[in-house]
């Protein structure tokens, strides 16, 4: 990072005004920014006015019940957010050890079936950085939650976030060998309908059977529980309770040791994948960069 000259420092606007701008830009609300900063709305408006005068251009467009960043505001916001993130990192380092915590949130199945098996190598490479792993299926609000990175499934386009593709979220039926043998084996896709189907309302089943040329219109009418995670459905399938539709990359071990079998090569793909995401403004924070580089290298192996 280049050193700032005394002249450059003297040209910077007041830190309070920048801090207020960051809060308003994140919330797109003067009211919410005032609540976060424990200030009045009038004080927030004044600080934004001070900054706009220093910039020489409006930073927000005021609309009924809404504000939006102007072009100048959009140019300023990412750099300000990144600067505060780096300032926080420096302060944490000065306090000693506070920057040694990395919070990662991910969906349960990726955590249990992939990340838990690989995370040890990251801890060995970065022994001073503790990882707190949280599992959740909801989208993370980085502006409000104390989370550094998230691993989520979807199409890969989330405004304001860097997204790195990890694994395709493809899908195909899997079941235990014992359950397959109970009907004399699985010889064609329609044979699967002779067995209990786990989470029969899952849209993946409709898409897979359609690709296989099998009429499965009555499948959604079957009674069945939605378990909410592939990890749970896979455990039920291993126990012989039914056929699950799962993502291959997350069940390599179960397929390799024969606990599950994939009876057909046909694999569905709705364009979704698993992605590593974090705010664009925090892409150069050391602990985020370390985890990103390790994860992408580990996935590529």
Looking at residue 91, its pLDDT comes to 64
| pLDDT single digits (tens) 275-291 | 999 998 888 888 899 99
What mean pLDDT do residues 161-166 have? Answer: 94
What mean pLDDT do residues 200-204 have? Answer: 91
pLDDT at 187 > cutoff 90: yes
What mean pLDDT do residues 141-168 have? Answer: 89
Looking at residue 188, its pLDDT comes to 96
The DSSP string of 73-85 is HHHHHHHHHHHHH
Q: Is 173 helix (H, G, I), strand (E, B) or coil?
A: strand
Domain extent, residue 126, equals 101-166+272-300
| pLDDT single digits (tens) 211-258 | 999 988 888 778 777 788 999 999 999 999 999 999 999 999 999 999
Looking at residue 97, its pLDDT comes to 39
Domain count for the chain, please give it.
3
pLDDT at 140 > cutoff 90: no
Is residue 262 situated within a structural domain?
no
Looking at residue 216, its pLDDT comes to 85
Torsion of CA 67, 71, 72, 76, to 10 degrees: 80
Looking at residue 59, its pLDDT comes to 93
Is residue 203 situated within a structural domain?
yes
Q: Is 223 helix (H, G, I), strand (E, B) or coil?
A: coil
Q: Is 242 helix (H, G, I), strand (E, B) or coil?
A: coil
Indicate whether 252 and 296 sit together in one domain. no
What is the Cα–Cα distance from 109 to 204, expressed in whole angstroms? 16
Higher pLDDT, 250 or 7: 250
Strand-pairing partners, residue 261, are 175
pLDDT at 21 > cutoff 50: yes
Looking at residue 278, its pLDDT comes to 93
pLDDT at 4 > cutoff 80: no
Strand-pairing partners, residue 203, are none
Looking at residue 92, its pLDDT comes to 58
Looking at residue 218, its pLDDT comes to 82
What mean pLDDT do residues 92-109 have? Answer: 72
Is residue 54 situated within a structural domain?
yes
Is residue 296 situated within a structural domain?
yes
Question: Quick one: residue 228, left, alpha or beta (phi over 0 = left, psi -120 to 50 = alpha)?
Answer: left
Indicate whether 114 and 37 sit together in one domain. no
- Whether 227 and 160 have beta carbons less than 8 Å apart is answered as no
pLDDT at 88 > cutoff 80: no
Higher pLDDT, 138 or 289: 289
Indicate whether 253 and 129 sit together in one domain. no
Indicate whether 204 and 229 sit together in one domain. yes
Cα distances (angstroms) measured from residue 19 to each of 54, 77, 102: 14, 11, 24
Torsion of CA 174, 179, 180, 184, to 10 degrees: -170
pLDDT at 116 > cutoff 50: yes
Indicate whether 90 and 13 sit together in one domain. yes
pLDDT band at 98 (very low <50, low <70, confident <90, very high): very low
Specify the pTM. 0.67
Is residue 267 situated within a structural domain?
no
pLDDT band at 90 (very low <50, low <70, confident <90, very high): low
pLDDT band at 169 (very low <50, low <70, confident <90, very high): very high
Is residue 264 situated within a structural domain?
no
Q: What is the CATH number of the domain that holds 34?
A: 1.10.10.10
What mean pLDDT do residues 31-50 have? Answer: 90
Indicate whether 160 and 286 sit together in one domain. yes
Q: What is the CATH number of the domain that holds 234?
A: 3.40.190.10
Percent of the chain with pLDDT over 70: 93
Indicate whether 75 and 145 sit together in one domain. no
Indicate whether 239 and 185 sit together in one domain. yes
Is residue 13 situated within a structural domain?
yes
Is residue 282 situated within a structural domain?
yes
pLDDT at 184 > cutoff 90: yes
Looking at residue 165, its pLDDT comes to 96
Indicate whether 52 and 180 sit together in one domain. no
Q: How far is CA 171 from the centre of its chain?
A: 20
């Amino acid at each position: 990072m280049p050193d700032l000259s005394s002249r450059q420092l003297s040209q910077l606007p007041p830190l309070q005004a920048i801090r207020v701008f960051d809060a308003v830009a994140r919330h797109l609300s003067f009211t919410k920014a005032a609540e976060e900063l424990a200030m009045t709305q009038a004080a927030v408006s004044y600080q934004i006015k001070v900054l706009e005068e220093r910039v020489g251009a409006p930073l927000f467009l005021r609309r009924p019940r809404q504000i939006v960043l102007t072009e100048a505001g959009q140019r300023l916001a990412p750099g300000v957010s990144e600067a505060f993130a780096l300032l926080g990192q420096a302060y944490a380092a000065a306090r000693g050890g506070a920057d040694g915590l990395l919070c990662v949130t991910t969906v349960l199945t990726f955590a249990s079936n992939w990340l838990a098996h690989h995370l040890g190598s990251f801890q060995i490479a970065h022994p001073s950085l503790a990882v707190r792993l949280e599992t959740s299926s909801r989208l993370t609000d980085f502006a409000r939650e104390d989370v550094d990175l998230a691993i989520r499934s979807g199409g890969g386009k989330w405004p304001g976030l860097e997204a790195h593709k990890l694994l395709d979220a493809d899908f195909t039926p899997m079941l235990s060998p014992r359950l397959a043998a109970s009907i004399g084996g699985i010889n064609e896709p329609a044979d699967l309908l002779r067995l209990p189907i786990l989470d029969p309302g899952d849209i993946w089943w409709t898409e897979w059977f359609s690709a296989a040329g099998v009429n499965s219109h009555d499948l959604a009418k079957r009674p069945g529980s939605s378990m909410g995670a592939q990890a749970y459905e896979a455990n039920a399938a291993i126990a012989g309770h039914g056929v699950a539709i799962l993502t291959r990359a997350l069940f390599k071990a179960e397929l390799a040791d024969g606990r599950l079998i994939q009876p057909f090569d046909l694999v569905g793909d709705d364009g979704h994948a698993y992605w590593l995401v974090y705010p664009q403004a925090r892409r150069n924070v050391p602990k985020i960069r370390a985890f990103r580089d390790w994860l992408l290298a580990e996935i590529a192996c």
